[in-house]
Amino acid sequence: MNPYTYQKRLKVIWTDAVERYGSGQHSCEEFFDDVTLGELASIGLNSMDVFDYAEDYVAGGDPDFETFLMICEARRDYFLTAQRGIFSKERLDVSSLPAKDAKVANILWLPRIIQKAKAKLRGELPSEIMFACGGDRLFFQNNNLHPAEFLRATWAYEDDEEELIGWVASRHEAAPVESAS
């Protein structure tokens, strides 16, 4: 995709996916032709990177296109800069994710979302895991964070997880009351 206008093409792809999902096409394999898959790959994305967000948007109106775009931008930047346009061959083992009720620095979900964010940045999420799913969105809301901002912080503190935890803790202190889900 053209680096200057890729966000416009991504909006067309997103809009088409939302319309398809809304009209009853609920299989990711039906969504994209080879040209579109190639365009997505050129910025480090795959079909699930669009399908999951379209599905959640149709089901509940969240995340919106702007959030989707910002998440894709963080992934795209990591892919082109840190990975030099080369896809990782690794996949996150779902069973290795911390439990949903795990805490670090007394912050619920933080151990889990850190691992998911690292995998999202690297393009290593398996198809059954979504970054910024409903549980993640609750975490972000409860901790005064935006999903794309968290991805960028995860990249910035990639070599120092304690710094990332400290950054989240500082935001957590300024956030509304944490939910117990």
pLDDT in tens, 74-127: 999 999 999 999 999 999 999 999 999 999 999 999 999 999 999 999 999 999
pTM, 2 dp: 0.93
Residue ranges of domains in the chain: 1-87, 89-181
Q: Please, which contacts does 102-105 make with residues 24 or more away whose CB atoms are closer than 8 Å?
A: 104/165, 105/165, 105/166, 105/168, 105/169, 105/172
177 — pLDDT class (breaks 50, 70, 90): low
- For residue 181, is pLDDT > 70? no
Work out the average pLDDT over 132-136.
Answer: 96
175 — pLDDT class (breaks 50, 70, 90): low
Distances (CA, A) of 44 to 1, 25, 35, 40: 11, 24, 14, 6
173 — pLDDT class (breaks 50, 70, 90): confident
Helix axis angle, 110-122 relative to 65-81, nearest 10°? 60
Q: Is 104 helix (H, G, I), strand (E, B) or coil?
A: strand
What is the C-alpha end-to-end distance of the chain, expressed in Å? 39
Cα–Cα dist 55/91, whole Å: 22
Written as six digits, the tokens of 167 are 């950054």
